[in-house]
Amino acid sequence: MSFKHTFEQTSLREYDIRGIVGKTLHVEDAFAIGRTFASIVLKNGGKTVVIGCDGRVSSPSLEEALVNGAVASGADVIRVGRGPTPMLYFASVTLKADGAIMVTGSHNPANYNGFKMMLANKPFFGEQIKHLGHLSREGDVVPEAKGTVKTVDIKKEYIERLLKDYDGGDRKLKVVWDNGNSVAGDILPALLDKLPGEHIVLNGEVDGTFPAHHPDPTVAKNLEQIIASVKENKADLGIAFDGDADRVGVVDNEGGILWGDQILVLLARDVLKNHPGGTIIADVKASQVLFDEVKKAGGEPLMWRTGHSLIKSKMAETKSPLAGEMSGHIFFADKWYGFDDAIYAAIRVLGIVARMGEPLSAFRKALPQTISTPEIRFDCDDLRKFQVIEEVAERLRKDGADVSEIDGVRVNTPDGWWLLRASNTQAVLVARCEGKSEAGLDNLKAALTRQLELSGLEKPDFSGDNAGH
């Protein structure tokens, strides 16, 4: 039977395939991904593909079609069932799979879903995803064959491996966990049963409609419930997850939010004790405080491009033991496998807090204070967004500005820094400013606005709350 399938163009993203179920993403797409990705694995000399899914309402039907597609290409499929995305990565590494696909909408709203992929335990992204789309459209796949399917329950092994690296001793912490109705709810009960301390779980039931709040712990509004619970229960800290548990949020004992770069400072100081001089990677959106603190702790800070696939690749290249993004993706190669895992990051944070002689809020307050805008996103045509970045970069070069062009433009001034980059996944430009004072922040906003206006764009909406950082 001949095979050809064309994907909705907007669903082929930089880091994954993602869309709105029933509109830009369908069961037929899932079959085509299985059929084409398995063909790539087989042409690569592989045979085994591990498949898992998150807790979204649409995930079971997409997972089934995905499996059928991979089997139709002759792959040996291992189904690990419902669980966090990092559990799928864990299965891929420990079972030595040739390829892996996770059905997940990640932190997107309930009507979205998508597919994250690994080939030979390396991220499958960018040009590879475009190539998959091309192969599917041309029907350039291996001849139809009959593969095999088996189901493996990896949960127990995954939980045991997570617990192995808990290093907080016997101190009994009081911890609030906001599962956010995420798929981490399949792991938490057995995990917390073995961890010392008192554990309070909010929204523990896996529910793909996310009735409590949106499953993204990097947005302050989504942390209101856990902040209230931490204060009410006088807990030592709170941990929150996104929909597929590869992004982590942390709240201290006073209900103060630790943003992605602050979590990374906490972890970096600890990891660098065993990896003196180690390279710690963070994306371009991270605070200058992070890079300075890594240096102070004896590490080599490296600013890199935003995107979990890009960070993972750079980690492997530089042999970095730890990396992170403002979006709450934390990657450990110290004792772990180099992929982003919010549950594992939480275990490591708990260990540090248990060994600290002071509350977590003391760590947060001791960091140098800056004032930053939230991440500002504004619409800009897919083609135009890259042109704008190039125009701004050219003007800044002519002006002799102190600018990094790793990912968009990040401009350092005596007042702090501002960033403008093109999103890899949407038709938007992303901006952020971090100042050393309110007046400094105003200067940075003005400099950014001027550059946008010179490229014919309107002033962005800075009305969101500035965050102390």
Q: Which of 339, 319, 321, 337 lies closest to 123 in space, CA to CA?
A: 339
Parallel, antiparallel, or unpaired: how do β-strands 174-178 and 48-53 relate?
A: unpaired
Q: CA 327 to CA 286: how far, in whole Å?
A: 10
Calpha distance 204→226 (Å, rounded): 12
Using alpha carbons, list the distances in angstroms from residue 81 to 73, 136, 153, 334: 20, 26, 8, 27
For residues 419 and 427, is the Cβ–Cβ distance under 8 A? no
Phi-psi domain of 195 (left: phi exceeds 0; alpha: psi -120 through 50; beta: other): beta
User: What burial letters (b/e) apply to 171-198, b meaning 16+ CB within 10 Å?
Assistant: eebbbbbbbbbbbbbbbbeebbeebebe
Q: Compute the distance between CA of residue 55 and CA of residue 67 in angstroms, rounded to an integer.
A: 17
CA atoms within 13 A on the CB side of 49: 35
Is 19 in contact with 8 (CB distance < 8 Å)? Answer: yes
CA–CA distance, 209 with 198 (Å, rounded to integer): 28
In sequence order, the 6+-apart residues with CB closer than 8 A to the CB of 50 are 77, 78, 80, 88, 91, 92, 95, 97, 99, 100, 101
Q: At 207, list the tokens.
A: 């529910």
What tokens were used for 188? 């938490």
The answer to whether the beta carbons of residues 334 and 276 sit under 8 Å apart is no
- At position 204, the amino acid (one-letter code) is G
What amino acid positions are annotated as catalytic residues?
A: 106
